[in-house]
Amino acid sequence: MKQRIYKLVVILAIFSVFNLGAVRAENGYNLWLRYMPIENGQLRQAYQHQLASIVVCNQSPTINAALKELINGINLMIGKVPNVSSITGNAAIDFKTNRLVLAKLDQPAIAAQFSTVELRQIGQEGYLIKTVRQNRVPQILIAANTDIGLLYGSFHLLKLMQTHQSLQALNIQQWPRLKLRILDHWDNLNGTVERGYAGYSLWNWQTLPGIIQKRYIDYARANASIGINGAVLNNVNASVKSLTKEYLIKTAALAKAFKPYGIKVYLTAKFSAPKELGHLKTADPLDPAVIKWWKDKVAEIYHYIPNFGGFLVKASSEGQPGPGDYGRTHADGANMMAAALKPYGGIVMWRTFVYENKKGADRAKQGYDEFKPLDGKFDENVLLQAKYGPIDFQPREAFNPLFGAMPHTHMMMEFQITQEYFGFATHLVYLGSLFQEYLRKDTYQKGPGTTIAKVLEERVNPGTDDNNRLTGIAGVANIGTDVNWCGHPFGQANWYAFGRFAWNPMASADSIAADWLKMTFTNDPGFVNPIKKLMLGSREVAVNYMTPLGLSHLMKFALHYGPGPWSKSAEVYHHADSVGIGLDRTVTGSDAVSQYAPALASKYSNLKTTPLNLILWFHHIGWDQKIATGETMWNSLVHYYYQGVKQVAAMQQIWQSMKGKIDEDRFNYVTQLLKQQHLEAKWWRNGCVLYFQQYSKRPLPKDCKEPGKAYWNYPTFKPDLPFPYHLDDQ
């Protein structure tokens, strides 16, 4: 009778140890608001002491939301439910027990705790968190001018706990630098999400307005936790149905659900709505009947949705109707809508993503050419929403020259959180690096230091005060009905980072990543430090295996997944020929450089002073030309592609070494995804290198092994994507 213990037992023993409590199964639904139990005994005790009770000084749905979040979060983290009470007057300060106090600054006793400067800075959404002492008893005071400020402050406090920070001697002042911090959902009414890779649209139109899913509330909570205060619910390729009474009623239910969390609802407005819905013969923005139609429609909207935010408009772009159809300008169109919205405090966000695929024309110039002449012509409640680059959300582009060039127009940034050009929901790419890069870009429009952040915050022109400011930033959402909301577990980090940068455009991608990792996975520095590094480098890794050195738009036509430099449509982006590769955007080429401030135009005009990561954006460079890498253009290009693949392999190794530090399910899922990413990085490398080699006709550098597969034979991924996609059958 022999007892054979298989390796199975060892494996199961390990499994058992981990199931003895510490690492429970997680599916990502809770995002960064997991509120995991705090295991450090000292810290837990300190928190228990400090948060034994909560006092609120007023009642409202927003205060209730803050309380619910605090109670739930505190209880989950330290295993004790705080006592909650409500008081008014001076009573807030006299109690002898440790307390967390939420109070508005209209109470003199509360305001007295802060300096005039502090009080002035925080505005309508900011908050102050201070440890105050009365009779030697410390209290944590969260104070703000509004309830929403108190909600934001509550999330900040919870974040401190989630990242295991001390709550002693707090002295925090926080306020957002941009007014409109918005998610653009490219959601279609049929539930599909354009450029969405994380499931269906969150908005279940069929069961609205009657059913408010918990998902909507959790969405609102997640956004409030990072200060996002607006959501455009429908696709920029708009359906007029969104403006019908039936859908306004449904939208109103969402607006009502979001309101306690400080989130306003916006809708995209199709320019042809007066014709399609109103059965007018025209949509000419100067036509009186059209003007009246929009006026009436806006009145109807505000009847159902009193706190409606306004319209987002994609017009005269990619086939969408617009004022240009009637010989009118963008300003004509935007101002007509803005006038209708102004009495209600609504705004218009008008997209500058306008281009024509004219042969020979440089697409990168067209947004500027179209909108620069209109500077100063837009009404005060209009913002232009411009992408960070002049092409279309590429892994790297030169920054959009409109930023800084429109001093008399409200400009807002449009980032893309969904990874349309960055590997969908398969590739690990932390976009915090990208957000930071573009926000800190120096436009030089008023000398050095005129960063895009400063432009967005409207701090460039002295004398601009709050009353004249209308600032904002939008991110195209990567959110859907997938259990983990974003498809890739690390996709959540991009939603999170967008919110953090929207609140403070000069934030640090590094510390944002650290916060997110601690809240989403673990505080263990043995995980946070290496994975933060991995995240920070991941965007550049993708650039390397997709479009290095300033290349852009080599993705498969229409689908935007996988390599496709051989598409006819991609030729205009790489201009590869027997001589070399890259686009001449200097004066000898399209002269796109002239759209930048002179200091930059001159910098970009000279290959030697052009940043290495943009040389092929601005220059057509001979294959044999030596570049700043010390190697020829061809060899450098190939080396970057090969480096990208190696870097993904390195990411895989780093990730593998994290085994056991986090929950099994997400660890395994990311392991699979990285494996797939490595495969696809090779697909990119092989495809692009072999394709460009047809032009360079040069051998690969000696240290680069032959790719092996011809690009056109590589296993294809031709997924059927829901309407309105079509695939290039090459």
Positions marked active-site: 318, 392, 420
Nearest-approach distance from CB 456 to its own copies, in angstroms: 35
Of the residues 37, 123, 138, 191, which one makes contact with its own copies according to CB under 8 A: 191
Eight-state DSSP code of residue 322: -
Query: Does residue 169 interact with its own copies by CB under 8 A?
Result: no
Amino acid, res. 300: E
Instruction: Check residue 22 for interaction with its own copies (CB under 8 A).
Output: no
Tokens 């500027």 appear where? 368
Q: Which of the residues 32 through 71 are near its own copies (CB under 8 A)?
A: 56, 59, 64, 67-68, 71
Task: Rounding to the nearest 10 degrees, give the CA dihedral for residues 471, 477, 481, 482.
Answer: -130
Specify the residue, 87 or 654, whose C-beta has the smaller distance to its own copies.
87
CB 627 within 8 A of CB 621: yes
Say how many CA atoms lie within 13 Å of 68 toward its Cβ: 12
Nearest distance, CB of residue 342 and its own copies, angstroms: 32
- Check binding of 135 to its own copies (CB under 8 A): no
Smallest gap from Cβ 21 to its own copies, in A, equals: 9
Using CB under 8 A, which of 121, 124, 168, 206 touches its own copies?
206
Q: Which of residues 227-246 bind its own copies (CB under 8 A)?
A: 239, 241, 246
Q: Which amino acid is at 144?
A: A
DSSP-derived secondary structure for 378-443: S-TTEEEEEESSSSSS-SS-PPPTTTTT-TTSEEEEEEE-S-TTTTTTTS---THHHHHHHHT-B-
Binder among 108, 210, 319, 630 for its own copies (CB under 8 A): 210
Which residues within the stretch 320-379 sit at the binding site for its own copies (CB under 8 A)? none
Decide if 543 contacts 395 (C-beta within 8 A). yes
Min dist CB 138 to its own copies, Å, is 20
Site string (470-499) toward its own copies, x via CB under 8 A:
-----------xxx----------------
Alpha carbons within 13 A on the beta-carbon side of 340? 28
Binding pattern for the stretch 697-726 against its own copies, x by CB under 8 A and - elsewhere: -------------------xxxxxxxx---
Can residue 254 be called a binding residue for its own copies (CB under 8 A)? no
Q: CB neighbours (10 Å) of residue 518? A: 22
- Would you say 546 or 674 has its CB closer to its own copies? 674
Closest Cα partner for 726 from 194, 186, 188, 189? Answer: 194
Cβ proximity to its own copies: between 703 and 720 the closer is 720
User: How far apart, in whole angstroms, are the C-alpha atoms of residue 472 and residue 676?
Assistant: 36
**Contact residue for its own copies among 14, 211, 299, 650 (CB under 8 A):** 211
Using CB under 8 A, which of 131, 613, 629, 676 touches its own copies?
Answer: 676
Question: Tokens standing for 70?
Answer: 């605090």
Provide, rounded to whole angstroms, the least separation between the CB of residue 69 and its own copies: 12
Pick the binder of its own copies from 98, 173, 200, 300 (CB under 8 A): 200
669-704 in b/e form (b: 16+ CB < 10 A) is bbeebbeebbebbbbbbbbbbbbbbebbeeebeeeb
Stretch that binds its own copies, among 366-374, 424-432, 469-477, 636-644 (CB under 8 A): 424-432
Question: DSSP letter at 36?
Answer: P
> Is 729 a binder of its own copies (CB under 8 A)?
no
Binding residues among 533-592 for its own copies as defined by CB under 8 A: 561
- Burial class from Cβ neighbours inside 10 Å (0-12, 13-18, 19+) for residue 461 reads exposed
Q: Supply the minimum distance, in Å, between the C-beta of residue 213 and its own copies.
A: 7
Which lies closer to its own copies via its Cβ, residue 609 or residue 716?
Answer: 716
In the complex, least distance from residue 425 CB atom to its own copies, rounded to whole angstroms = 8
CA–CA separation, 515 and 493 (whole Å)? 10
- Least separation in angstroms between residue 437's CB and its own copies is 29
Nearest approach, Cβ of residue 520 and its own copies (Å): 17
> How many residues make contact with its own copies (CB under 8 A)?
76
Smallest gap from Cβ 545 to its own copies, in A, equals 17
- Between 588 and 716, name the residue whose CB sits nearer to its own copies: 716
Using CB under 8 A, which of 161, 167, 189, 514 touches its own copies?
189
Spatial contact of 589 and 608, defined as CB atoms under 8 Å apart: no
State which of positions 67-126 bind its own copies (CB under 8 A): 67-68, 71-72, 75, 81, 84-91, 94
Region of residue 583 (phi > 0: left; psi between -120 and 50: alpha; otherwise: beta): beta
Q: Which of 200, 270, 209 shows the shortest CA–CA distance to 241?
A: 270
Smaller CB separation from its own copies, 35 or 573: 35
Cα–Cα distance, 272 to 283 (Å, whole number): 6
**Cβ pair 493, 500 in contact under 8 A:** no
The reply to whether 279 sits near its own copies by the rule CB under 8 A is no
Nearer to its own copies by Cβ, of 91 and 650: the residue is 91
214 binds its own copies (CB under 8 A): yes
Gap between the Cα atoms of 150 and 552, Å rounded: 44
Tell me which of 14, 22, 27, 653 binds its own copies, using CB under 8 A: 27
